[in-house]
Structure 1
Amino acid sequence: MREQLLEEKTTELEQASGEIVKLEEEKSRFLHFISIAAHDLKAPLTAIQGFFWVMLGGFSGELTDKQRNMLERSSRRIKELLNLISDLLDIPRIETGQIVQEVKEISLREVVRRSLDDLRNLAKEKGVKLKVELPQSLPKIQGSSSRLQQVITNLVGNAINYTPEGVVTIRVGEGGKDMRTEVMDTGIGISADDPPLSDVSPPWLVTPQG
């Protein structure tokens, strides 16, 4: 009886092991597909962005204010698509743990400044006022500067897009041993039925220095 039970459990373990191997193979193929698709999309978009920069730089002739405005808006949309592609390319790196190598000492004030620099024109187009609340003194933190900027840019960008002629506030402060960055707006907000941000935010470590 005991030998039969042991044999059944062994068979179950072998079947489970086989299923795990299949899932890992499918995940590997999926990540490979994402990587190829993202690279194939990135090349032509980068070329288009380059053409926009040439025209905006005046190398192809003088531009009217209307033409410049249209090119600047198109260029920003291309940049948003390139950022999305970068997100896709990050998925395999997160899976293999490579993203952890980017963690280092950074200035949160500088990260917020760069994030908002990319969004001020969008806010102006939407008639949205950006309000920034930063303490005079901010400690250095450990994290990935580019990834943290990506998260803040996405949050503030979404707030701007869903706030018709209102105010988007970015507040940074200390929350116990951690630094807290809050994005508030006068738009429709996040529904209580939506998943918490901890479930949708990427797992990049950000903690105060020391």
Structure 2
Amino acid sequence: MKRCTWAKAKNPLYVAYHDKEWGVPVYDDRLLFEMLCLEGAQAGLSWWTILQKRENYRDAFDQFEAEKIVMYTDEKLQSLLENKGIVRNRMKIQSVVTNAKTFLKIQREYGSFSSYIWSFVDNKPIINNWETEKEVPTSNEISDRMSKKLKKDGFKFVGSTICYSFMQAVGMVNDHTIECFCHPAFHKDVR
């Protein structure tokens, strides 16, 4: 079974992420919020670092329930700064609280965060046909536009590269290479 080169011969956790999550469309608001926060935590680090800590993040941030996060006290924020299971960066931790407030505002305004975020790709995944991993961009015009809008609306740690990585993670963009068994063309050829 062929995979994208970044997932070959890696830890089983990484392979499972590639095979079952990366590029798979996500419409659940809570999971979209979680992935946006985790992608922001990744800034300046590797996804592998964050993926290994994902369960710790879920425990530390109340399963990314925005309604709970907006109620965090200074004591809770201090305990997060002392939590060795997550990246202990004050700005990144504070951004989760800020993003939770903005996320709830967006839900009220748009009916759901999913409706808001998927509108950037006209509500359907973009399927790319890259032959090699080197062709896959780290940002594009859509992630640039998304980044500007998210920042304008109040989100933090949402630069264009983070937005593009988020789009890949939640299946708004499918960047599996064409030889990868996770690319949609593979499934069409098999049927």
- Fold similarity call, TM over 0.5: no
Q: Which has the larger radius of gyration?
A: 1
- TM-score, normalisation: structure 1: 0.23
Structure in which a larger fraction of residues adopt strand: 1
- TM-score, normalisation: structure 2: 0.25
